[in-house]
Structure 1
């Protein structure tokens, strides 16, 4: 079934079932679809046709979902933009993608002001939260624009699996952003895979908390709608609001980054709410310490699933779902598996290989690089054939992630290739040190990097964020590590911070920590 048939199907089967909740706005599937069809009419009237690029710059909102479905219905290529980027970075992405139209939230007026100059291909800006009277030349107000169109479903565009649906630009931590192409086939295959893996049904309520410009959350747009479930949207993350909303809206599943979960379980009122509706709490985007997993399960009283993925894979590659027989294991042993990166996602083939391309031993000791292939893997990078050839070799996507694998097929990432520390000839994996730091009762967040050292080549350095109202001394942190790690793995220095630097997608920006 093509992506542009998912919403019509949901309307046929569940016209009056609540589909979208965003603040005080509540829409059933028929009401939501009518807004999508009106947007389709407006975009067609602007002359947009199959293959044209449509960009969106917005906080989480029903408009974001409307844009995803309108683009899919018309065969447009959607370019979700990270609103934390600078005007120069946004301009580069708009110019590189060739986007003709931008849908932007009114609060981003300042960074958007110079974008038509930076990206001359940009023909029109559609503003939400602004009326048409305040719009300039080649601008329009979103609500007025769609109100002028009929609510009838337009004829869907004929689509093939190989047609590009989305262009997600990487965060650019290793250089200029690259546009990752995801096809209609990629998105459809991933949606079906998650429905199967997570047993998603029409009774599920998905909570959009992580940014919709990022695939960690955006994949659910199509999967939840396909199943006829409900989308509950929060514009920005606030730990207490998330906990309150889980109870009020009877949330059944969501995907949050470890930082968010850390703040939630450390929220003083965390134990006041009813989380009995939660089936799964998924987490991805960064490694997570077993101690943090234990606290999440203890606080939220639900099944925890560690996820691992990439923009290039739509995104999931692994899930730490337990196999049937594992559910009878003692709780401590179950926790050990749940805290791992997980076993391969249903729609991918995953291997851990050495530098010669041979599978490493499944002994949880030998380290190799994760490579994958499958229906959810990108065909490549937008207008970058050389970068595509480097990343995809003989049909296998090279992830750049180093991992071990066990006899059950569960992998555990130990580091990014570029983040591995070599000190005095010994390999140190930052996640191993970070997992120990997270066991310290006064540490909220931690990140470990290698810094130049005249004696050892590189030295291990830890950056630590204390919990609120807690005091930590660097020498105390080092002493704590020495109780749990070999000497060469312990930080030689510790720097205390109020917060860790992050990329736009919420990942810790280790390049920024190295200076």
Structure 2
């Protein structure tokens, strides 16, 4: 992807402000000039094509410019999660070999050996990184190096190329029908692909970037109205908070046309409330860092739009049908080189595998993990799902999250969906804990809508009316919030850890 031509085209088709961040307003020519200035400063510090440069910002117009600056100079950008500890950040700097870091001064200064350049709101300098990571050569065409959240082990560096980004731009422009009149709210973190993909697609459409440094529902709704936001992607916690705030105000955002979300199950009843409370369309999404990210959308085709309302809501709440240009299969057995497609009966469970131009070429400095992920020429997601007669995927679990209890298999998503049907459940996560009798037993962590509104016994009884007994939680923990990764996904590793501590393996 040629970022200069992307920005030049945006300058041609869009006049006036195209970037809104607090009091800052930029047109695309201003964004191009800012990106060029940052790129020259990085180059002056020794950055050369193929070098890794780490970035550490909250959502802001400077981060937008840094994404373009890196691509313009053929640098490999390494976005850092602002929530990581300094030790975790240093580990990523060492592994990626990022000799330079640019970021918000308060965030970047502790990681820099000596600040060497600064602008209004940013600071850049050498990290002091040396060794194997710094000496490694980036693959031809590499553009980004995203480190996974590591919910099942140490984070891995996912390589995305300019060709991956270009293919994803082309796909999302068509799937989501982006237009110059669209305004995208960067609400999810820009250090993660939950939002960063929109940097390129919105620019390619000539649309407006509206940046929200820190999410709060009241501020988000105000900004949506002020900036005329038409489309955004929210992680599940943000979505529920925004819906509650809109309900409190008694009105929907004025211009919102489409809301995207993913990373957790959603009940059809919640999809209906989104339409009523936010006055917009909704699409469930599914993807991974390794796939740029989107693999599916629960967008309805002509045939599905003719279905009864209840059937349409059920489809909208599913994981969705394959995005254009993506080859997607649900296969059995999982995790092997030779496999077959499961029947499209919405019952047979298999692993989701994918291939196509948006799929990563592999993991940075980890050929073993790359080989394991691409068995049989397909990328193995590690996610389990079913497929129905409409071709819609429905995820049931992570392969590593399946609960084996008394010889039976329990998919955590099925139990979570049952819990989400209860009106007093705001969020739920189901996971396996050691059990001397059954090997594992089912446990749930629940964020209630209000304190004291429901008991563990109530929820277990509620599940027993909907599920087989062995699938029902043996214990329920009530929490104020569920632990999450940088991308907003529930971190079940954190929930499991106290129960499995001291054991040599995470399964009995």
Verify the 8 A CA contact 2:41 2:117 in the aligned structure 1: no
Q: Which residue of 1 aligns with 2:422?
A: 440
Please give the alpha-carbon distance, in whole angstroms, between the structure 1 residues aligned to 2:2 and 2:111: 37
Please give the alpha-carbon distance, in whole angstroms, between the structure 1 residues aligned to 2:37 and 2:8: 14
Q: Which residue of 1 aligns with 2:49?
A: 50
Shift of 1:288: 2.4
Describe the superposition over 1:228-252 as per-residue Cα deviations: whole angstroms up to 9, x where unpaired: 0000000011112112222222111
Which segment drifts farther, 444-453 or 240-249? 240-249
Please give the alpha-carbon distance, in whole angstroms, between the structure 1 residues aligned to 2:282 and 2:119: 36
Describe the superposition over 1:3-28 as per-residue Cα deviations: whole angstroms up to 9, x where unpaired: 332112212332x3321000111111
Verify the 8 A CA contact 1:373 1:396 in the aligned structure 2: yes
Which segment drifts farther, 396-405 or 326-335? 326-335
Does residue 349 in structure 1 map to residue 333 in structure 2?
A: no
SS at match of 1:476: helix
Please give the alpha-carbon distance, in whole angstroms, between the structure 1 residues aligned to 2:301 and 2:85: 44
Alignment of 1:44-193 (within 5 A): 44-108=43-107, 113=110, 116=113, 163-193=141-171
Describe the superposition over 1:161-206 as per-residue Cα deviations: whole angstroms up to 9, x where unpaired: 9500000001122222111000000001001100011111111100
Q: Which residue of 1 aligns with 2:12?
A: 12
Please give the alpha-carbon distance, in whole angstroms, between the structure 2 residues aligned to 1:62 and 1:131: 11
Verify the 8 A CA contact 1:291 1:438 in the aligned structure 2: no
Verify the 8 A CA contact 1:247 1:273 in the aligned structure 2: no
Q: TM-score, normalised by structure 1?
A: 0.90
Please give the alpha-carbon distance, in whole angstroms, between the structure 2 residues aligned to 1:379 and 1:75: 18
Which segment drifts farther, 404-413 or 467-476? 467-476
Does residue 466 in structure 1 map to residue 448 in structure 2?
A: yes
Verify the 8 A CA contact 1:366 1:404 in the aligned structure 2: yes
Describe the superposition over 1:419-478 as per-residue Cα deviations: whole angstroms up to 9, x where unpaired: 111111111111111111112111111111111111111111111111145532111111
Please give the alpha-carbon distance, in whole angstroms, between the structure 2 residues aligned to 1:267 and 1:315: 29
Q: Which runs of 5 or more structure 2 residues have no equivalent in the other structure?
A: 128-137, 498-508
Describe the superposition over 1:74-128 as per-residue Cα deviations: whole angstroms up to 9, x where unpaired: 111010000111111100111111112111213325xx52564xxxxxx756556
Does residue 317 in structure 1 map to residue 295 in structure 2?
A: yes
SS at match of 2:264: coil
Shift of 1:365: 0.2
Q: Which residue of 2 aligns with 1:39?
A: 38
Shift of 1:368: 0.1
Please give the alpha-carbon distance, in whole angstroms, between the structure 1 residues aligned to 2:428 and 2:71: 40
**Of 372, 377, 382, which residue of structure 2 is paired with 1:400?**
382
Verify the 8 A CA contact 2:62 2:122 in the aligned structure 1: no
Verify the 8 A CA contact 2:283 2:316 in the aligned structure 1: yes
**Of 370, 378, 385, which residue of structure 1 is paired with 2:367?**
385
Shift of 1:479: 1.1
Q: Which runs of 5 or more structure 1 residues have no equivalent in the other structure?
A: 117-122, 140-159
**Of 229, 234, 248, which residue of structure 2 is paired with 1:251?**
229
Verify the 8 A CA contact 1:102 1:125 in the aligned structure 2: no
Alignment of 1:272-311 (within 5 A): 272-311=250-289
- Count of matched residue pairs: 483
